[in-house]
Amino acid sequence: MPNPTKTSAGQIYYQTYQTIKKTPVVYLPFLIFAVFEIIAVALVYLFPRMPFVLVCGPIIRTFWGERFLHYPINFLLLPKLAALSRMFLSVILGSLLTGMAVAIVYKKNYKTAFKKYISLFLIVLIITGLFYLTVKIIGLCLNKYFMAGHLKLLFLGPRIWLGPILTTINLVTALLVQSIFVYAIPEVILNEENPIKCIGASFVFFKKHTVLTLILVGLPMLIYLPVVVLNYNTTFLIYRIFPEVILFLALSGAIISSLIIDPAITISTALLYLKSKEK
Cα separation, 238 vs 229, whole angstroms: 14
Does 50 share its domain with 179?
Answer: no
Segments of the chain with pLDDT less than 70: 1-6, 279
Does 125 share its domain with 110?
Answer: yes
- What 3-state DSSP class applies to 153? strand
Cα-based torsion angle of the residue sequence 47, 48, 52, 54 in order, rounded to the nearest 10 degrees: 130
The closest of 210, 170, 187 to 83, measured between CA atoms, is 170
Cα separation, 199 vs 205, whole angstroms: 10
Cα separation, 200 vs 44, whole angstroms: 36
Residue 8, domain member (yes or no)? no
Does 81 share its domain with 64?
Answer: no
> What is the number of structural domains in the chain?
2
Residue 3, domain member (yes or no)? no
> Could you say which DSSP state residue 66 is in?
G
Does 226 share its domain with 254?
Answer: yes
Residue 178 C-beta-side C-alpha neighbours within 13 Å? 21
Does 52 share its domain with 148?
Answer: no
Residue 118, domain member (yes or no)? yes
CB 60, CB 77: distance < 8 Å: yes
Q: What angle do CA 73, 76, 78 make, to 5 degrees?
A: 115
CB atoms within 10 A of CB 206: 20
> What are the backbone dihedrals phi and psi of residue 153, each rounded to the nearest 5 degrees, phi first?
-135, 115
Residue 136, domain member (yes or no)? yes
Residue 115, domain member (yes or no)? yes
CB atoms within 10 A of CB 239: 10
Residue 209, domain member (yes or no)? yes
Cα separation, 188 vs 204, whole angstroms: 15
Residue 30, domain member (yes or no)? no
Output the pLDDT for position 279.
Answer: 66
Output the pLDDT for position 159.
Answer: 83
Does 67 share its domain with 156?
Answer: no
Does 57 share its domain with 93?
Answer: no
Does 166 share its domain with 230?
Answer: yes
Output the pLDDT for position 88.
Answer: 95
Question: Model's pTM, two decimal places?
Answer: 0.91
Alpha helices for the chain (secondary structure H): 9-22, 28-46, 52-63, 74-89, 95-105, 111-115, 117-147, 158-160, 166-181, 184-190, 195-208, 210-222, 225-232, 234-240, 245-256, 262-278
Output the pLDDT for position 84.
Answer: 93
Residue 124 belongs to what domain range? 73-278
Does 215 share its domain with 122?
Answer: yes
Cα separation, 274 vs 101, whole angstroms: 14
Output the pLDDT for position 156.
Answer: 79
Does 235 share its domain with 115?
Answer: yes
Residue 1, domain member (yes or no)? no
Cα separation, 50 vs 60, whole angstroms: 14
Does 59 share its domain with 109?
Answer: no
Does 184 share its domain with 236?
Answer: yes
